[in-house]
Structure 1
Amino acid sequence: MASPGTKIIKGKYVSAWGGIQSAGQTIGQIIALYVIWVVLVVLFAGMGVGMLQSTLPLYLAEISPTQLKGLFINAYTFWFVLGQLFASVALNRLHISAPYDFRTPIYSQWAMIGVSAIIFVFLPETPWYLVSKGKLDQAKKVLTKMHGRKQGYDSQEQVDLMMSTIASERAAAEQNSELGPWAVFQGKNLLRFIIAAWPKITQQLVGLTVFNTYATYFFQKAGNKDPFLVTLILSCVQLISMIMTAVSTDKLGRRPLTVYPYAITVLSLLSLGIVGCFDYSRPALSSLLIFFACLATFSTTGASAIGYAYAAEIPQQRLRARTTAFALAFSNMVAIMFSFTTPLMINGDAQWGVRTGFFFAGTGAVAVVICWFILPEVACRTPAEIDEMFEKKINLRKFKHYSPSDY
């Protein structure tokens, strides 16, 4: 897949490999007879999903028009949530008719894998990647195919802009000695890495695990014993959140749709903790429990999706793939930590129960304050403009009002 001497594999090949691993997982689950086999196929499934999660937002950011990047990147999370809803409905119906049939839903995955395989075959490489590798004619061809019908569009001009941006970044990197595999953590790139990673890390610090993975627990405490109904309710809440976020992020901006929803989540968690101090089995308080759990889910779903946009848009073009991967990896490490500790908070020796909301309200408040100070507004900005603002050390909270003609 890579030519001799190539150190970075093309993004679409990494995504395709993630799909291949998912196909391997499907085969493995069908023939799995021993526990160790199940463990291995689940491990490979996780690797495949991780590759897709780190490359698809990056691909969408590089191939989408500047004015619509937010829409397309958030659409990725929308389809992810919709797929979870379909899977929940299908598994519920199967559980009623054949509760011990676990292979049928695995067989059904082949339809989606087949569609994905066809898409990957015809998926073009991003112009930014092609220009960075000196394949200018191919980049121009892709741009012409995607945007050639627009009146007055000049694909050669766009290729020249990309070349100029990449050359400027390389010159600055050589001047500041920000080269090598660890350049992500050197100089201004370290700040850009922190900004790229922080929105996704914040989603963990505001208690995503509490009201996502353990949402059924809160509904059961409120008297609802049907976990499928809980899944339907929360999935619909997530879908509404994603539709609203996707259509508004390019108009309202990344920063307000990240900071303010996370702040609402913190207040929801604080309210959950307060409700947990009383007898929430009573109808009035149990309704509040469900309301705040749904509110936290609604506010966090959209903000979390915008985290992919920050991870893909903030880094320099030459370090975009590497920075995005590191940023999402750090977020997943925090998620792994809370996946082990949250059950201990809720039902372990601590027996915090619903009052676990107090803990995540505290960690979330700190994370949101940091978001307020470090998250810039980059909606509808080109990579060159973002580079320029970082190079000129523009105040992060004033990115929105920056104009190149003013400096």
Structure 2
Amino acid sequence: MPWGAFQTLSVSYASEVCPLTLRIYLTTFVNACWVIGQLISSCVLKGVLNIEGVNGYKIPFALQWVFPLPIAIGIYLAPESPWWLIKKGRDEEAKHSIKRLLSANEHMPDTEPLANAMLNKMQLTVKEEELVGAGTTYWDCLKGANLRRTRVASMCWLAQNITGSTLMGYSTYFYTQAGLDTGMSFTFTIIQYILGLIGTVGSWFLSIRGGRFDIYFAGLCIQAILLIVVGGLGCASSKGASWGIGSMLLVFTFVYDMTVGPITYCIVSEIPSVQMRTKTIIIARNIYNVSGIVLYIITPYMLNPTAWNWKAKTGFFWAGFAVACSIWAWFDLPETKGRTFAELDKLFNAGVSARKFKSTEVETFNSKAMLERAQGDEIKNMVETTKQIDNGIFEKDPQQKV
């Protein structure tokens, strides 16, 4: 259960505590944290490689006790998600949480007006979803527009898992089976994760120019090509081919951690509705986990010379999935860059096709349409208050609004 929380809540929390322009950086940093952990693990295993006796496995286990305490302290001090507090009707606590996430500067010496504006917009987004009938159960994730959102989020995470990433998890063993000695295999693995970390940082620069779909789709296509090359080199049996396979896997890791790896965390946090975000992410991640059970059973058979003995020719197997996932992404993965959660709600509820998400103009918080579905002046007051606060904050400095 803690492991499930780590996999799902970190993604939804990251998307809920940062502004739109920073969402890509914080959500993709989740991928960087995975890579950092894998890098530390590889360095530790490289260090104990020649230690004989029980210390060879006790030291790696014992070192893991270093991390829980500082992480637990950091989590305890972190603000609660304002979106979650608003859904629970705890608006004052939500406002306090928002103010903790803001910082004063020369343009905004007082954060109170901005906190009020953000609170009102969050309230409107939640209220709008309630009025169009968004539910609160897992079954509601499979109804109407939520079904499409659940499918896209699930496929994004599934594609991340079935397009060759398991080769990175078994990289050290894969390198030894490709013909490299044990020490060099661990060295290659360490280099691999360093490149993965560099790739994740590189994805931040890519995101400035490219959209979520652009990066994800391009990554799948490049991965397919690299996996075909790995499979082709696996058909040879020379020392040069073994080094070529190792080099291609390093390039593959760099590409994966610059595209599909990190951008998935951003996409799956943006695709679900506010009401159903955590539940949708949990369903999507469990599909990833179920596929992982299958993959981590069959991958050793593929690589092991006493079993299927495919070795590097497994690249052909994963390349097929990469091509299939590229086709799916083209027809079903929408562009979410620059869209607020309210705008995404409108686009999904209107059934806009994936390739038109980027160009379609939407109107959010239409008070007239919302009032037709609601009783009283609660929503109208929220809309008017938000407009007044926005005007008060931005009328002196239009550039700040941008």
- Determine if the alignment matches structure 1 residue 358 to structure 2 residue 312: no
> What are the equivalent positions in structure 2 for 1:119-138 lying under 5 Å apart?
119-138=74-93
Deviation at 1:100, TM superposition (A): 2.5
Aligned to 1:319: 276
Q: 2:334 aligns with which of 376, 393, 400?
A: 376
Quick one: structure 1 residues 375 and 250, their matched pair in 2 at CA, closer, same or farther if it must change by over 3 Å?
Answer: farther
> What are the equivalent positions in structure 2 for 1:7-406 lying under 5 Å apart?
47-96=1-50, 100-101=54-55, 102-149=57-104, 151=107, 154-173=114-133, 180-218=137-175, 220-226=177-183, 227-249=185-207, 251-279=209-237, 281-283=238-240, 285-302=241-258, 303-347=260-304, 349-404=307-362
Aligned to 2:397: none
Partner Cα distance (2:54, 2:46) in 1: 12
Give the conservation status (yes or no) of the 8 Å contact 1:311–1:328.
no
Partner Cα distance (2:63, 2:307) in 1: 41
Give the conservation status (yes or no) of the 8 Å contact 2:174–2:303.
no
Give the conservation status (yes or no) of the 8 Å contact 2:269–2:281.
yes
Greater mean deviation of Cα atoms: 297-306 or 56-65: 297-306
Partner Cα distance (2:154, 2:344) in 1: 17
Aligned to 2:385: none
Give the conservation status (yes or no) of the 8 Å contact 2:17–2:101.
no
One-letter identity of the residue aligned with 2:127: A
Greater mean deviation of Cα atoms: 306-315 or 345-354: 345-354
One-letter identity of the residue aligned with 2:94: A
Partner Cα distance (1:366, 1:97) in 2: 45
Greater mean deviation of Cα atoms: 65-74 or 345-354: 345-354
Under a length normalisation based on structure 1, what TM-score does the superposition of the two structures give? 0.81
Superposed CA offset, 1:136-155 (max 9, x none): 11111121222251535521
Quick one: structure 1 residues 355 and 139, their matched pair in 2 at CA, closer, same or farther if it must change by over 3 Å?
Answer: same
Deviation at 1:251, TM superposition (A): 4.4
Partner Cα distance (2:94, 2:261) in 1: 32
Give the conservation status (yes or no) of the 8 Å contact 2:157–2:285.
yes
Partner Cα distance (1:155, 1:371) in 2: 37
Deviation at 1:261, TM superposition (A): 1.0
- For residue 263 of structure 1, give the secondary structure of its aligned residue in structure 2: helix
Deviation at 1:369, TM superposition (A): 0.8
Aligned to 1:35: none
Deviation at 1:352, TM superposition (A): 2.2
Give the conservation status (yes or no) of the 8 Å contact 1:219–1:225.
yes
Quick one: structure 1 residues 92 and 354, their matched pair in 2 at CA, closer, same or farther if it must change by over 3 Å?
Answer: closer
Partner Cα distance (1:357, 1:316) in 2: 36
Structure 1 spans left out of the alignment, 5+ residues: 1-46
- For residue 343 of structure 1, give the secondary structure of its aligned residue in structure 2: helix
Partner Cα distance (1:83, 1:90) in 2: 11
Quick one: structure 1 residues 49 and 405, their matched pair in 2 at CA, closer, same or farther if it must change by over 3 Å?
Answer: closer
- For residue 402 of structure 1, give the secondary structure of its aligned residue in structure 2: coil
The number of equivalent residue pairs is: 356
Partner Cα distance (1:86, 1:99) in 2: 22
Greater mean deviation of Cα atoms: 203-212 or 188-197: 203-212
Deviation at 1:380, TM superposition (A): 2.7
Partner Cα distance (1:249, 1:331) in 2: 24
Superposed CA offset, 1:101-152 (max 9, x none): 2444444333321111211221111111111111111111121222251535
The Cα RMSD (Å) is 2.3
- For residue 53 of structure 1, give the secondary structure of its aligned residue in structure 2: helix
Under a length normalisation based on structure 2, what TM-score does the superposition of the two structures give? 0.82
Partner Cα distance (1:223, 1:89) in 2: 18
Give the conservation status (yes or no) of the 8 Å contact 1:127–1:143.
yes
Quick one: structure 1 residues 218 and 87, their matched pair in 2 at CA, closer, same or farther if it must change by over 3 Å?
Answer: closer
Give the conservation status (yes or no) of the 8 Å contact 1:57–1:73.
yes
One-letter identity of the residue aligned with 1:109: Q
Partner Cα distance (1:75, 1:180) in 2: 29
Partner Cα distance (1:107, 1:225) in 2: 23
One-letter identity of the residue aligned with 1:92: K
Quick one: structure 1 residues 366 and 332, their matched pair in 2 at CA, closer, same or farther if it must change by over 3 Å?
Answer: same
Quick one: structure 1 residues 231 and 223, their matched pair in 2 at CA, closer, same or farther if it must change by over 3 Å?
Answer: closer
One-letter identity of the residue aligned with 1:141: H
- For residue 404 of structure 1, give the secondary structure of its aligned residue in structure 2: coil
- For residue 154 of structure 1, give the secondary structure of its aligned residue in structure 2: helix
